């Protein structure tokens, strides 16, 4: 008869990992009362501190005084960046883009309505249909607002910085 393997199955390994996070004096406080984890794992495993996501190797080296770490996982979140991080990055990009566009529009002497959104309502001084056609030739699209009764106004979306610069350069060229 074949001897059973002493290797724990995956369920046991997960239990040990979760148990070590809540371990106090060798007993798992979140599961069965009085269950000794050391029956399932070696002492060295039990002494491991759980990994805290987001810490750099340099931080861990400083905290633990150890050198020569190897990070095995390159992506801590298989689902990608958190929605909160993405939203913060997007908000920062829009704010920086608006600031840049306001400065450039001020230099050009164009009126605009300050915005809290990701677009700017601005007066192009000339017929917005004509400006739209000329900007299209430069590879830039704007939304002319003649539809809403503002024949010289347009709505421009705040984009990535390179897109904002492209728009300003094309607008300067078209307004000459």
Residue 1 within any structural domain of the chain: no
- Residue-wise pLDDT for 73-99, tens only, equals 555 555 566 778 888 889 999 999 999
Percentage with pLDDT > 70 across the chain: 61
Region of poorest pLDDT, from 17-26, 63-72, 102-111 = 17-26
Q: Which domain holds residue 106?
A: 83-175
Region of poorest pLDDT, from 77-81, 83-87, 131-135, 149-153 = 77-81
User: Does one domain contain both 42 and 120?
Assistant: no
User: Does one domain contain both 96 and 152?
Assistant: yes
Strand partners, 119: 157
Q: What are the Cα distances from residue 21, in Å, to 14, 30, 71, 76?
A: 11, 10, 20, 18
Q: Residues 6 or more apart from 21 whose CB is under 8 A from it?
A: 50
Question: What CATH number is attached to the domain comprising 148?
Answer: 3.90.1150.10
| Higher pLDDT, residue 84 or 135 | 135
Residue 69 within any structural domain of the chain: no
User: Does one domain contain both 60 and 107?
Assistant: no
Cα distance between residue 63 and residue 61, in whole Å: 6
Please tell me whether the overall predicted TM-score, pTM, comes out greater than 0.85 for this model. Answer: no
User: Does one domain contain both 46 and 91?
Assistant: no
Looking at the structure of the chain, the number of domains it has is 2
């Amino acid at each position: 008869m074949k001897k059973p393997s002493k290797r724990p199955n995956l369920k046991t390994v997960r239990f040990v990992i979760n148990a070590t996070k809540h371990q106090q004096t060798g007993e798992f406080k979140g599961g069965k009362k009085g269950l000794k984890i050391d029956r399932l794992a070696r002492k060295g495993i039990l002494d491991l501190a759980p990994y805290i996501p987001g810490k750099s190797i340099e931080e861990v080296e400083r905290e633990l005084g150890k050198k020569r770490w190897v990070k095995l996982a390159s992506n801590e979140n298989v689902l990608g960046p958190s929605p909160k991080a993405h939203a913060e990055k997007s908000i920062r990009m829009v704010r920086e883009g608006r600031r840049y566009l306001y400065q450039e529009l001020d230099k050009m002497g164009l009126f605009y309505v300050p915005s809290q959104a990701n677009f700017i309502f601005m007066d192009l001084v000339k017929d917005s249909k004509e400006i739209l056609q000329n900007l299209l030739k430069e590879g830039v699209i704007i939304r002319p607002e003649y539809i809403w009764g503002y024949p010289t106004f347009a709505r421009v979306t705040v984009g990535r910085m390179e897109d904002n610069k492209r728009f300003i350069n094309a607008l300067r060229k078209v307004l000459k």
